[in-house]
Amino acid sequence: MSEIQSPSQTIGPLYGFALMFEGSHEAVPPDSPGAVRIEGLIIDGDGVPLSWPEGFIEVWEGDQWARARTDVDGRYSVVVRKPEPAPTPDGTVAAPHLNVTVFARGLLKQLLTRVYFPDETAANAADPILELVPPGDRDLLIAKPEGEVLRFDIRLQGEDETPFFAF
Amino acid sequence: MAVAERQDFNPPYLHPAYEATVRRAPSKRLIEVPRGWFHHATGPVWGRVPVRPTDNDLTKQHAGRPVGQTITLSGRVLDSDGRAVPNTLIEIWQTNASGAYLDPADPGFMSLDPNFTGAGRTITDSEGRYHFRTIKPAAYPGDLGALFRPAHIHTSLFGALLGSRLITQCYFEGDPLQDRDPILQSIPDPRGIERLLARFNSAATEVGDVDSALAYNWDIVLRGPAATPMEND
Q: How confident is the model at residue B228 (pLDDT cuts 50, 70, 90)?
A: low
- The reported pLDDT for the residue numbered B5 is 53
Give the residue-averaged pLDDT of A18-28.
97
Residue B198 has pLDDT above 90, yes or no: yes
CA B114 to centroid of chain Cα atoms: 24
How far from each other are the two terminal CA atoms of chain B, in whole angstroms?
A: 24
Q: Closest chain A residue to B193 measured between Cα atoms?
A: A7
Q: How close, in Å, is residue B14 to chain A by CA atoms? A: 8
Q: How close, in Å, is residue A14 to chain B by CA atoms? A: 6
- Structure confidence by residue, pLDDT tens digits, A86-122: 888 888 889 999 999 999 999 999 999 999 999 999 9
Residue B233 has pLDDT above 50, yes or no: no
Higher pLDDT, A58 or B162: A58
Residue A43 has pLDDT above 90, yes or no: yes
Q: Which of A31, A54, A32 has the alpha carbon at shortest distance from A42?
A: A54
Residue B203 has pLDDT above 60, yes or no: yes
CB atoms A6 and B165 under 8 Å: no
A45 within some domain: yes
Give the residue-averaged pLDDT of A71-98.
92
Furthest-apart CA atoms within chain A: distance in Å:
53
A4 within some domain: no
pTM of whole model > 0.80? yes
CB atoms A12 and B103 under 8 Å: no
- The reported pLDDT for the residue numbered B232 is 56
CATH of the domain at A22: 2.60.130.10
Query: SS3 for B144?
Result: helix
Q: Closest chain A residue to B161 measured between Cα atoms?
A: A167
Q: What is the DSSP letter of B194?
A: H
Q: Which of B18, B101, B130, B171 is catalytic?
A: B101
Give the residue-averaged pLDDT of B224-233.
65
A27 within some domain: yes
User: Measured between beta carbons, which residues in chain A are less than 8 angstroms from residue B167?
Assistant: 8-11, 103, 110
CB atoms A103 and B167 under 8 Å: yes
Residue A23 has pLDDT above 50, yes or no: yes
Residue type, A32: S
> What's the number of domains chain A is made of?
1
In contact, B91 and B155? CB cutoff 8 Å = yes
Q: What are phi and psi of A32, to 5 degrees?
A: -85, 155
Find the helix or strand (DSSP H, E) in which A123 lies.
helix A121-125
Q: What are phi and psi of A14, to 5 degrees?
A: -115, 45
**What value does the mean pLDDT of chain B take?**
91
Residue B210 has pLDDT above 90, yes or no: no
Q: Which of A2, A8, A90 has the alpha carbon at shortest distance from B226?
A: A2
Q: Contacts from A64-69 at CB under 8 Å and sequence distance 24+? A: A64/A27, A64/A28, A64/A98, A64/B45, A65/A27, A65/B44, A65/B45, A65/B46, A65/B48, A66/A24, A66/A25, A66/A26, A66/A27, A67/A19, A67/A20, A67/A24, A67/A25, A68/A24, A68/A25, A69/A16, A69/A20
Q: How confident is the model at residue B145 (pLDDT cuts 50, 70, 90)?
A: low
User: Measured between beta carbons, which residues in chain B are less than 8 angstroms from residue A100?
Assistant: none
Residue B157 has pLDDT above 60, yes or no: yes
Q: Which residues contact A105 (CB under 8 A, 6 or more apart)?
A: A10, A11, A12, A13, A54, B20
Residue B144 has pLDDT above 70, yes or no: no
Higher pLDDT, B143 or B125: B125
CB atoms A14 and B93 under 8 Å: yes
Q: How far apart are CA A60 and CA A112, in angstroms?
A: 11
Residue B146 has pLDDT above 90, yes or no: no
A2 within some domain: no
Catalytic residue at B35?
no
Q: How close, in Å, is residue A100 to chain B by CA atoms? A: 10
Q: Which of B34, B49, B93 sits opposite A15 (nearest CB)?
A: B93
Q: How far apart are CA B18 and CA B149, in angstroms?
A: 12
A164 within some domain: no
Instruction: Report CA-CA distances (Å) from B26 to A82, A156, B23, B101, B126.
Output: 27, 5, 8, 29, 38
Residue type, A82: K
Q: How far apart are CA A108 and CA A156, in angstroms?
A: 13
**What value does the mean pLDDT of chain A take?**
95
CB atoms A4 and B92 under 8 Å: no
Q: Which of B48, B104, B186 sits opposite A65 (nearest CB)?
A: B48
CA A165 to centroid of chain Cα atoms: 12
Query: Hey, what CATH topology would domain B47-222 get?
Result: Protocatechuate 3,4-Dioxygenase, subunit A (2.60.130)
Give the residue-averaged pLDDT of A53-81.
96
- The reported pLDDT for the residue numbered B227 is 74
CB atoms B24 and A107 under 8 Å: yes
Catalytic residue at B154?
yes
Q: How far apart are CA B25 and CA B70, in angstroms?
A: 37
Give the residue-averaged pLDDT of B221-228.
83
- The reported pLDDT for the residue numbered B2 is 37
A5 within some domain: no
Owning domain of residue A103? 16-155
Residues B14-28 as b or e (16 or more Cβ within 10 Å = b) = ebeebebbbbbbbee
A46 within some domain: yes
Residue B209 has pLDDT above 90, yes or no: no
Q: How close, in Å, is residue B94 to chain A by CA atoms? A: 9
Catalytic residue at B149?
yes
Give the residue-averaged pLDDT of B86-108.
95
CB atoms A106 and B24 under 8 Å: yes
